[in-house]
Structure 1
Amino acid sequence: MMIMEKSRTWLLGLLPLTHSRFSHSTFLLLTLRCAHFVVEEPMVIGHECAGIIEEVGSEVKALVPGDRVAIEPGISCWRCDHCKQGRYNLCPDMKFFATPPVHGSLANQIVHPADLCFKLPDNVSLEEGAMCEPLSVGVHACRRAEIGPETKVLIMGAGPIGLVTMLAARAFGAPRIVIVDVDDHRLSVAKSLGADDIVKVSTNSQDVPGEVEQIHKAMGADVDVTFDCAGFNKTMTTALSATKPGGKVCLVGMGHSEMTVPLTPAAAREVDVIGIFRYKNTWPLCLEFLRSGKIDVKPLITHRYGFSQKEVEEAFETSAAGGNAIKVMFNL
């Protein structure tokens, strides 16, 4: 076990709240829900973090005080069938930062298992280390979808997860990536980060046929794999319609808990639908991508704040307002 050094922990990944009350690092969230996880009492949030080790337990051999580490935020049981088979992200007894009822890492110090703390390469900053968490989602999605040098990729949604999925797909060798969104600014960011083409769409489901034509024109070839990083009826409908026969659609976002989508036509074209939940065994690869320069996450960090009461409130307001905010970073 280890404790992270006070004032040197980096944390990011704010929830889009519009009304919050703050008391030090405890936040009152009234009606926050993600799938079947529901906040029912005040809790500390935060799950994207890195820091410097202050103390280690007697059995810790690979790390020492002073080491800079990126932190994987989920502690699985290692006893259930999922864990024994290596799919520990599906562990039913997972204790995951900021997932009710487990408190998160938005604090001056945390205690965490040593085998979930990954030493940062010398040329990787604490900020980049904290970004390993969202990047892991994209890496896990690319592994599930078997992205490679011959895979042409469509991404629905140019939010933070869509962008890290795009960066991961490129690192896995995808030769052409088209990204779709409703927002001009997000699309411009995606283009600046390396998207081969962008397509602006609407929220109107009646527009799907025409938008699929635009997507095919932008891709200039068949869509092998589509990542739906939004998870709405319309985005999934577009994904299923745009993907080639025999292709794959990977559902990453969870915008809707239930969807009505054209599965029968997709099944008739043998389009495989796969899902992901968090990630597994991704931190070493994420750190290697960052060390080697194959992925640069620094442009995704758009705002930085300290950890005073005033700065915390301002950070949450910035995140809630949207605008040009992608990732909002706390420096503790």
Structure 2
Amino acid sequence: MGSLTFKRAFAEPVAIGVQSCRRGAVTGNDSVLVLGAGPIGLAILEVARARGAMVYVTDVDPKRLLTAAHLGAQTLDAGPGLLENVMKLTNGEGMPVVMEATGNAKVMESTTDLVAAGGRVVIVGIVPAGTSISFPGLDLTRKEMSIVGSRASVDCFSESLELLASGAIRYPEIASRFEPEQAVAVFDRLVEPNHGLHKVVFTRESK
């Protein structure tokens, strides 16, 4: 599989990153906080950086944070001190853009504390059906924040492919490559906590 052909396998997750950044109106003047350094969080990181934004990423998994740092993010610990650290970084204002990519309801609810007044919150993570999310009503008016969801990637694939072809996206570099014959063992591993794999791609190429 050629290099460009291999990169095309990442068009879909990168397109989700494109849509998320469109929904958050991310520009080169923004600082963006990405909550979660899984496959989608990393795609958002890459697209936001390609737009010129300063990107901060947080996650509970130190290995994921190392990957985010490799891709150019400033990393923050996801522990109880996250809000305090964000406020120190932003002179008490909060982040202009907060992208939630964990699918954790409590993390989603924390976005209103982390975002700046007049800022944008983009919810990308998916919670189980029937799960409710609560936001403090006063903050919605007091901070004049915008909260939007992001799921689809309509009309995003052309931009995704252009970013991949240009080399602006390094996401494919961290892929976990396997031969097709290894599929059963790989899927068994993927259901384990802390499996240590990144975006899995089955290819006839050697690792």
Q: Normalised by the shorter chain, which TM-score bucket?
A: 0.7 to 0.9
Q: Number of paired residues?
A: 200
Tell me if 1:177 matches 2:177: no
Q: Distance in 2 between matches of 1:325 and 1:259?
A: 29
Deviations 1:224-244 (A, max 9, x none): 110001132321222110111
Q: Tell me, yes or no, if structure 1 residue 223 matches structure 2 residue 111.
A: no
Map of 1:213 onto structure 2: 84
Question: Residue 287 of structure 1: which of 161, 167, 170 is its match?
Answer: 161
CA deviations over 1:24-48 (Å, ceiling 9, x no partner): xxxxxxxxxxxxxxxxxxxxxxxxx
Aligned to 1:200: 77
Alignment of 1:25-44 (within 5 A): none
Quote the offset at 1:188 in angstroms: 1.0
Q: Distance in 2 between matches of 1:263 and 1:324?
A: 39
> Which one has a larger percent helix, Structure 1 or Structure 2?
2
Correspondence for 2:20? 141
Partner amino acid, structure 1, of 2:114: A
Answering whether residue 155 of structure 2 is matched by residue 277 of structure 1, we say no
**Distance between the aligned counterparts of 2:195 and 2:173, measured in 1?**
15
TM-score (norm 2): 0.88
For 2:135, the aligned partner's letter is: V
**Fraction of identical pairs, as percent:** 28
Give the superposition deviation at 1:222. Answer: 4.2
Cross-structure match for 1:320: 191
CA contact (8 A) 1:305 1:315 kept: no
**Aligned partners of 1:164, 1:147: CA distance in 2, in Å?**
14
Q: How much has 1:170 moved relative to structure 2? A: 0.6
* Unaligned segments of structure 2, at least 5 residues: none
- Please list every run of 5 or more consecutive structure 1 residues that lacks an aligned counterpart in the other structure: 1-7, 9-122
Distance 2:137 2:188 in 1: 39
Alignment-mate amino acid for residue 330 of structure 1? F
Distance verdict in 2 for CA 1:268–1:237, change over 3 Å: same
Structure index of larger Rg = 1
Deviation at 1:145, TM superposition (A): 1.0
Q: Is this contact kept in 2: 1:223–1:247, CA < 8 A?
A: yes
CA pair 328-293 structure 1, distance change in 2 beyond 3 A: same
**How far does the alpha carbon of each residue in 1:133-167 deviate from its partner, in whole angstroms, 9 at most, with x for none?**
01110000101111111111001111110000000
Indicate whether 1:129 and 2:4 are aligned.
no
Change in 2 beyond 3 A, CA 1:314/1:266: same
Residue 201 of structure 1: CA displacement? 1.9
- 1:258 partner SS: coil
Answer yes or no: is the 8 Å Cα contact 1:141–1:276 preserved in 2: yes
From the superposition, tell whether residues 270 and 216 of structure 1 become closer, same or farther in structure 2 (CA, over 3 Å): same
